[in-house]
Amino acid sequence: MSKPDPQNKAKNSTKNRRITLRDIAREIGVSHTTISRALNNSPEVSENMKERIRRKSEEMGYVPDPLLSALSHYRLTSRENPVQSVLAWVNPWSKPKEMRKIEEFRLYWEGAKETAKRMGFALEEFCIAEVPLKRLEQIFKARNIQGVLIGPAHDLSLDGSAANLIDFDWKGVAVVRFGRSNVYPFTHLVTSAQASNTSTTFNAISEKGYRRIGYVGLLLSMRVFGSGYHMAQQHTPKNRRLTPLYFQESATFSDQQELLATWISKSKPDAIITDRDELPQMLRNLGYKTPKDIALATTSIHDTPIDAGIDQNPKEIGRTAIRTLVALINEQNFGIPENLTEILIKGTWVNGSMLPNRR
């Protein structure tokens, strides 16, 4: 009579229970501490081994247990740590559904939700246009929600969003926000490295043979995209440096188009960097052909009809926000911090038909 295979027995025993680090360790042939370090992105584990362990953990359906994480933290700190498994995404828009019509922001949510799930949490949305702030406080306390992501804002002066969260008591929660558009609270933030990305865009355009590279955007963009543009121009001969064109947020389409016509006549750009999705239409209206007359590159390929430019890696921004938030919870780092951390996610250059190589 043949003896039962102990490996088959081990595999069968995992079918109806939560997969643990030791289960993955048996499959890989390493210690469970190595598995833990790899899943926490420790530099002590090689990249090849990390990738192997990640693939195997996904294949086996491993999901971290937030209860065990909380218990582990309790043992380390020797004080009570309420267990919770829900993270809050606070939507600050006056019209909440409008937020995800912006593709960048929709991908923030996707990246955040996927990572929260992988780390053992559920990500739930709360809209302040629908739930009063004091009621939101009560909900978070009743459900032991200790981590809050403040969703991204966008042209809030135009949106009329109820984004002023100053009346909320942040003492009992860890908070991370997306970007700098929200006036309050002044918390740790994760956003795109917009200045660096614009500099990268300028250099990529220059390498393709363009010599008169301009920038057109909203006045709000001056401190981020605009600063990157000015920084890149410092490495350009003075006779090829162009003054950027900034539109007032309240200016009409026709007013912006008129300003654009005057600026082009004076600056004579052969390529333009922009964050405005209306720019291709304006150029057509003025009789310019893209890319024959003026080539175009965008600061966000996700939210403009321009195919060359920067992918700001929005899903990675969402992922990083969740990882940061969970770290704050584990440290019991609650409330408005004295020292803010800004995490900037580098974008990726993408070639496109609107910016052909001129060399």
Q: How far is CA 262 from the centre of its chain?
A: 36
- In this predicted structure, the answer to whether residue 297 has a pLDDT above a threshold of 50 is yes
pLDDT reported for residue 262: 96
Return the pLDDT at 70: 53
- pTM for the model stands at 0.72
Q: Which CATH superfamily is domain 86-191+313-346 in?
A: Response regulator (3.40.50.2300)
Q: Strand order in 213-218's β-sheet?
A: 245-247, 213-218, 271-274, 295-298, 309-311, 348-350
Residue 270: pLDDT band with limits 50, 70, 90: very high
Instruction: Work out the average pLDDT over 220-245.
Output: 86
Task: Give the start-to-end residue ranges of the domains of the chain.
Answer: 1-53, 86-191+313-346, 194-312
What mean pLDDT do residues 51-67 have? 81
Mean pLDDT confidence for 165-193? 86
Beta strands in the chain (DSSP E): 86-91, 122-127, 147-150, 174-178, 188-192, 213-218, 245-247, 271-274, 295-298, 309-311, 342-345, 348-350
Note the pLDDT tens digit of each residue in 287-296.
999 999 999 9
Question: Per-residue pLDDT tens for 101-129?
Answer: 899 999 999 999 999 998 889 999 999 88
Band the pLDDT of 77: cuts 50, 70, 90: very low
What is the architecture, at CATH level 2, of domain 194-312? 3-Layer(aba) Sandwich (3.40)
Reported as a single tens digit per residue, the pLDDT across 307-318 is 999 999 999 999
Backbone angles phi, psi at 102, to 5 degrees: -85, 115
Asked if 86-191+313-346 and 194-312 have one fold, the answer is: yes
